[in-house]
Structure 1
């Protein structure tokens, strides 16, 4: 990156044409705006059509500060960044209640509102006064190359911020939210807080870029800084280059800005608005040829070629698998007999359907409670009500005396409740270690402690040989164990496992059951939903049967499976009559 910046500085020194020198200055400006958009939309996954609001606010802050308060841009640009962050906070508070295209459309309203407000206040055209007596103090240089170098300095700062974010807990949390928001929150991540932090940092970067842009324009108008093209440029340069990486906006700005500006200079009189045509064509091409952007498309292609370039017939280095420690090798902890979880009268309805109807049970510390029942009986709905995915209509759930009902999903995770899902929720673009590390971060562990907890959880599930493998390439069994490891990385007191054996063959089931036996020997308290009866009989200390949202039976496994009501619920009255004869 440093080499590229130095090369760009070298290029700026040899360009003599003033228009092309201005183009060289605009590339880092729009790259910074693209980085700010990527910092929020690229990592979080919520599309913003309104980053012109922060950009324009920054431009007007510098322009009005200079004209009305005699404030140098050296001070005005940092103030613009602060106002951009403050505006992001005010915008995010109501707008984060929306999702998907509703969020995107709501963001579109803010630059329009600010544009109309600027026109209403008589700020249709704000000219920066010329201060030639001390150009360095007022950012007014006769040599256009200095603006290019200052733009590169701003870009270097934005890149440094993006790099720190991408390689930190911050970035990992954002990428987890983007790839699977529910799984991220279930792992203990405060989704709303991290989204707000990302939007505020993004708004600050866009505000600073807008403030510097005002010094280049010298005349600030609502259309120039709040217009649709501004938000479109931020979005397009990031999408074209690739979202979710700081390389994307750089690639997009380096290609699209010179192309659009050159065509505008050559064909602007013949084809008015040709810049918009360039951005529209870029979006169409990237959607057809490389939907994830140039960076990801080229990286994936390079990875495939590197794999194909391996010498045929070469003997691969054997992978040393770390076997799961069998339950017999662990000194088993006897259950304390103390009740860890107590559920009383839990109810959840969807309209007229009672998915969970007055369910009550308790789980003793160090035991495994198996929950069985026909499809649609309300088992997963009960799990969702226990760990905060759904809010129960009434009832209570006490974890070691602490109320779970009414708390948010990430708060319940922080109290010590780990969760897996019926359909595996992974972060496919992240390696296995990072997938599990999200669970450790969600529990609030410090960096070194979190990494140690993640590696320990991976070892406990027998996946140490796959630490660096992308989650998107794992088998079903490996994904099931990875999700279990992510729940264990938060060091929970209670595990909620929703059909962990779903889709597995007999040998794969045995491997997962070995892990569960090992966890029970360590004293882990577990509630597991499963349809495979022979597996439940092997692993569960007690069984709870739910049918049509109500508790049908609860007791020792052998007693429960011989219960006439349980047999009828599973197999029907005709089968029960045959059993009786």
Structure 2
């Protein structure tokens, strides 16, 4: 059965909701119908930032309250109608969002959440100090509709529903474009998003500006509905908690989440307050607290995602084939090399393949690392490392654990700034530049610990990497399709990343890096966790990319594979370059045997 489009379902739900609201004559029940829409709108505002980027905000009441006070003060002092103040409040909220985001996005995790909490608390005291403890809208007896002062409160429900549909349309638009894909990538793995070419700060500032705009307009409408504004009612802790709770309860990162949360929690809280508020003051806060506890215990990502995941698992259980048994892990590190009966045969075959692979011709230098160093306190992780990479070659970086290999990659890729030295990419010093800048300059990256965007499909994951080169969505899809085909992953395009095997995840990360059309690929242990047959798939993909002209620098411990894959080795030990050379000379170098390969390798490969 064909599924109805989300927009059509939303319109049907809106029509049913409006019909139910118009049938209600009780003034208090009419107010509840309107408040559901208000808190759904505010939840969408919170969701635009926190739901899609994962940066939890305890301070959205700041934007909400500024919009509310702008509406009432605009009418009192300037005679401006709320119809005019709604868009102006949105602009005020957007500007406030950028001003808040610029300093606060430097923080992460709970530090960001606590910093956001400071803004509404500060504004609450500021507005109290200004003597604006209780501000009411002037009554307009002539043409009250022009000032949104309706005698029939059902009109407020109509206005609120229109606002909600507008904000839903904006949210759906964001979800389906580069904007939303960037935010989801940031939420699921900000480092991977940066490496894929996403300017995370710029997209987060856009998100908080749009979030602030929705909150500001919602706050202005809320003030009009209540006809009175106090600092506690718009800047108070419970206001931010309401937005957070309806979104978390319904489902973060989804347009449906805030709507579901508001539709369940707001009527429940209001009705209990009406019935029990005199006996149990603060019952609404109790309801919000219980809702958060219930969500954390039973559906950490919210009702929407819990239902969706349950339905998907049932479909998978009914139609999916049984999983294939895992392959034994490939040898990793010196202890594993030569530990199996067929190790000698495998090594001979490896050398034969290596001898028939043409060595990269001496060409221009694409990467020139000059005296790069990086220390962490007293630990010198990378010390005065210098090397160059010719265009079109495959360079393998090896060394014992703790030798500084991944730290070196992070210096090359912009995740760390070197203390000294230069990283020249195509003749331009890129040392200390952000990862998305290096990605735009033609440097792709995969990670030792896989960093997929788990809730996105393979095609969406790879498309994120294509945005750095694509001019529009169509081109991004085309580049993503090409990248998946280049690594042999086209048959998995529609599969959700959370359901992939390790082999498929490795190929997907490779495809995501390739989708940005890099000239240089940095591969950090991209064979880790793979079985023998799976390793060959990845190696074949790397060889194919190299044959197409992509320069590859790879960190890997699986020496049996590396000796037939790379043109040259760079050996690190204790953060310094130990030696560099072709595979044959490196595997016979006593210093390399002592520092990395070990006596077992030396004994097995003496011949």
Tell me, yes or no, if structure 1 residue 263 matches structure 2 residue 272: yes
Tell me if the contact between 1:413 and 1:443 (Cα under 8 Å) persists in the aligned partners. no
| Match in the other structure for 1:320 | none
- The aligned counterpart of 1:123 is 132
Q: Measure the CA separation in 2 of the matches of 1:580 and 1:238.
A: 65
Map 1:240-279 to 2 at 5 A: 240-279=249-288
Q: Does 1:555 pair with 2:581?
A: yes
Establish whether residue 564 from structure 1 lines up as the match of residue 573 from structure 2.
Answer: no
Displacement, 1:574?
10
Q: CA deviation at 1:307?
A: 3.6
> 5 Å matches for 1:386-465?
386-465=412-491
Following the alignment from structure 1 to structure 2, what is the Cα–Cα distance between the partners of residues 489 and 503? 24
Query: C-alpha distance in 2, partners of 1:99/1:111?
Result: 19
CA offset digits 1:220-248 (Å, max 9, x no partner): 10011111111010000000000000100
- Unpaired segments ≥5 residues, structure 2: 1-9, 323-352
Find the partner of 1:237 among 246, 252, 262: 246
Contact 2:359 2:567 in 1 (8 A): no
Q: Which of 512, 518, 521 pairs up with 2:547?
A: 521
- CA 578–489 in structure 1, closer or farther in 2 if over 3 Å, else same: closer
1:341-380 matched pairs, under 5 angstroms: 341-380=367-406
Distance 2:564 2:79 in 1: 79
Q: Equivalents in 1 of 2:605, 2:555: separation in Å?
A: 26
- 8 A contact 2:467–2:516 mirrored in 1: yes
Matched, 1:476 2:502: yes
The aligned counterpart of 1:318 is none
In the alignment, the residues of structure 2 paired with residue 248 and residue 298 of structure 1 have an alpha-carbon distance, to the nearest angstrom, of 11
SS for the counterpart of 2:192 is helix
How far, CA to CA, are the matches of 1:521 and 1:280 in structure 2?
A: 59
TM-score normalised according to structure 2 size:
0.90
User: How far apart, CA to CA, are the structure 2 residues paired with 1:513 and 1:310?
Assistant: 32
Indicate which of 280, 287, 302 corresponds to 2:296: 287
Measured after TM superposition, the shift of residue 572 of structure 1 is 5.3
Cα distance in 2 for partners of 1:33, 1:454 equals: 35
Structure 2 CA distance for aligned equivalents of residues 301 and 577 of structure 1: 55
Which residue of the partner structure matches residue 11 of structure 2? 2
Q: CA deviation at 1:346?
A: 0.8
- Once residues 145 and 493 of structure 1 are traced to their aligned partners in structure 2, the CA distance between those partners, rounded to angstroms, is 61
Partner of 1:316: none
Specify whether residues 377 and 222 from structure 1 end up closer, same or farther in structure 2 by C-alpha distance, changes over 3 A only.
same
Deviation at 1:579, TM superposition (A): 9.4
Matching residue of 1:28: 37
Distance 1:135 1:545 in 2: 79
Aligned equivalents of 2:458 and 2:320: distance in 1? 27
1:41 aligns with 2:50: yes
Distance 1:6 1:336 in 2: 69
Conserved in 2, the CA contact under 8 Å of 1:53 and 1:226? Answer: yes
Deviation at 1:406, TM superposition (A): 2.3
Question: C-alpha deviations, 1:116-159, integer Å up to 9, x for none?
Answer: 01010000010101102101211001011100000001101110
Matched, 1:303 2:309: no
Counterpart of 2:340 in structure 1 is none
1:202 aligns with 2:228: no
Kindly indicate whether the alpha-carbon contact (under 8 Å) linking 1:438 and 1:486 is maintained by their aligned counterparts in 2: yes
Going from structure 1 to structure 2, the CA distance change for 1:334 and 1:376 (only over 3 Å counts) comes to: closer
Distance 1:308 1:565 in 2: 54
Q: CA RMSD in A?
A: 2.1
Q: Please state how far the C-alpha of 1:571 moved relative to its aligned partner.
A: 4.6
Q: What pairs up with 1:33-182 in 2 under 5 angstroms?
A: 33-182=42-191
Secondary structure of residue in 1 paired with 2:557: coil
Alpha-carbon separation, structure 1, partners of 2:396 and 2:413: 17
The CA deviation at 1:522 is: 1.0
CA displacement at 1:333 relative to structure 2: 11
Q: How many pairs does the alignment contain?
A: 566
Q: Identify if the C-alpha distance between structure 1 residues 573 and 469 changes in structure 2 by more than 3 Å, giving closer, same or farther.
A: closer
Aligned counterparts of 1:412 and 1:484: Cα–Cα separation in 2:
17
SS of aligned partner of 1:538? coil
Q: Which residue of 2 aligns with 1:319?
A: none
Extract unaligned runs of 5+ from structure 1: 314-326
Tell me the alpha carbon deviations over residues 396-455 of structure 1, each in whole angstroms, 9 at most, x when there is no partner. Answer: 111110111021111011100000001111011110011111101134543211111111
SS at match of 1:539: coil
User: CA shift at 1:48, angstroms?
Assistant: 0.3
Q: Is contact 2:360–2:393 with CA below 8 Å preserved after alignment?
A: no
Q: 1:455-506: CA deviations, max 9, x gaps?
A: 1110111111100101111111111111000000000000000111111111
Q: 1:511 Cα deviation (Å)?
A: 1.3
Q: 1:510 to 1:573 in 2, by over 3 A?
A: closer
Q: Is the 8 A contact 2:416 2:432 kept in 1?
A: no
CA contact (8 A) 1:32 1:158 kept: yes
Could you tell me how far 1:305 is from its partner in structure 2?
2.8
